Structure 1
Amino acid sequence: MTTPTPHDPHPAVPYGTPDAPRIAVRGEAHLEVDPEIARISITVASRGKDRRTALDDLTHRNTTALNLLKSYGEAVERIETGTFSITPQLKEGRGERIHAHHGRVHITAELTDFTALGELTTRLADLDLTRVDGPWWALRPNSPAHRTARQQAVREAVQRAREYAEALGTTLAALVELADIGAENTPPAYPAAPGGRMRSMAYGAPADTAAAPLDLEPQRQHVHAQVNARFTMAPPQL
């Protein structure tokens, strides 16, 4: 409980008073904006009769894929290598005789230049024993779209409170509280993108035949913001 002081003759109470009624409202904003980044996942595989052959082949294929990604310069903002494995394949029947070894390495690339995306994914998919998944479209965590949505949500809260006050024939007096209740919808690292996902796997296309670049349309991103706000208003004449 708050004790009144000479400088605060009216104690603060949770739900307002007849002299200072409160209005509680929610402000919301929903934006649809173009994506800022696109992520693709590349899986490079190899196969050999012995472990060393599979490993050497995987190293060569991994280097080829990385060099292709790096050849696009600033269009590819980030390249990361994920899991790596060499797995023996056992022959069927009794015993543990190894038939072959399989190698696999995963690479993730993040692009900001969507004009290069279709050509790059096609060229990657054209490499031997290489699988490409994606793209996954997203906004940056610090995208201006998030700030715009939050600001719109606050303005809507103020406008809504004013309309309630006007309905009572009075005006807002002061802002008491502004609470963020999930102002931005940050997507996961690889969000599902219906209609924006493609899969491909290549097993050695002829060297003199270049596949046509894929036509990939960026998927629009939805940004949401919500705030709760409480205001005091001048006492209405009821």
Structure 2
Amino acid sequence: MTHPADGTPASVPALPYGTPDTPRLAVRGEARLEADPEIARIAVTISARGTDRSAALTDLTRRNEQALTLLKTYGDALEKLETGTFSLTPQLTEKGRHERIRAYHGRVTHTATLNDFTTLGELTTRLADLDLTRVDGPWWALRPDSPAHRAARTQAVHEAVQRAREYAEAVGARLDALLEIADLGAENAAPTAAPAMRSVAGYGGASQETAPALDLEPQRQTVYAHVNARFTMTRPAL
């Protein structure tokens, strides 16, 4: 093929569907696995309120320190502890000609990641037993480098090869070469809160020593993997 202007060779576009002697075959491989969770996350929100700003901040600091101290007593079971948000908000009067501050609301939120589920129920109960402390969760999850992700990806590729081989055999051919594998994503399902506990708010009055531990059942995680694969195969025997 030559260029119409000067006679120089022009590039020949690749045939998207192969040739009669070397047909192309495109398939999709999928995998869906279930695995036990590896970590659990809980959100701990500590609050304080008072008519005096300094007093509200002092109370919030004290309660926050109590919650952090309790969390850190769980040692290696506490894999990660992160502070999310902090706020100290004045609350204005709703009526009157002049705006006045009638109270201050303080709040700080932490996210704790735990890897030992045997202590999770006890920890959530003890946290919720603290004054003006709210606990949300747990949210079960797999780690990003969990072997479950690799297993799902491997299974998806194996399924794509098997499916392509079956298609080729159906027309009297066999697979010849792999041209491409396109990863469409291998990821864990969105973490969801287990029905055993959504949130628990503590307002004081109960003793930490006598508060019963929650019975929490880890929620199994679903891992998905999807790939597109393209092959060439030998000439079909039609």
TM-score if structure 1 supplies the norm length?
0.89
| Distance verdict in 2 for CA 1:96–1:12, change over 3 Å | closer
Q: Which residue of 2 aligns with 1:64?
A: 66
What is the letter of the counterpart of residue 137 of structure 1? Answer: W
Q: How far 1:194 moved relative to its partner?
A: 5.7
Q: Which residue of 2 aligns with 1:236?
A: 236
Structure 1 residue runs of 4 or more that deviate by more than 6 Å after TM superposition: none
What is the letter of the counterpart of residue 83 of structure 1? Answer: T
Alpha-carbon distance in structure 1 between the residues aligned to 2:41 and 2:17: 48
Alpha-carbon distance in structure 1 between the residues aligned to 2:122 and 2:220: 21
1:53 counterpart SS class: helix
1:157 counterpart SS class: helix
Q: How far 1:181 moved relative to its partner?
A: 1.2
Q: How far 1:113 moved relative to its partner?
A: 0.6
What is the letter of the counterpart of residue 39 of structure 1? Answer: R
Q: Is the 8 A contact 2:126 2:208 kept in 1?
A: no
1:166 counterpart SS class: helix
Q: Specify every segment of 5 or more residues in structure 1 that has no aligned partner in the other structure, as ranges.
A: 2-10
Q: How far 1:128 moved relative to its partner?
A: 0.5
Q: Which residue of 1 aligns with 2:82?
A: 80
Q: Which residue of 1 aligns with 2:127?
A: 124
Q: Is the 8 A contact 1:150 1:184 kept in 2?
A: no
Q: How far 1:196 moved relative to its partner?
A: 5.2
Q: Is the 8 A contact 1:37 1:137 kept in 2?
A: yes
Q: What is the number of equivalent residue pairs in this alignment?
A: 227
2:104 counterpart SS class: strand
Equivalent residue for 2:175, pick from 163, 166, 172 = 172
Q: Which residue of 2 aligns with 1:195?
A: 195
TM-score if structure 2 supplies the norm length?
0.89
Indicate the RMSD between aligned Cα atoms, in angstroms. 1.9
Q: How does 1:1-238 map to 2 (within 5 A)?
A: 13-94=15-96, 95-185=98-188, 187=190, 191-193=191-193, 195=195, 197-207=197-207, 210-238=210-238
Q: How far 1:92 moved relative to its partner?
A: 4.0
What is the letter of the counterpart of residue 66 of structure 2? Answer: T
Q: How far 1:208 moved relative to its partner?
A: 7.0
| Distance verdict in 2 for CA 1:140–1:227, change over 3 Å | same
Q: How far 1:89 moved relative to its partner?
A: 2.4
Identity of matched residues, % = 68
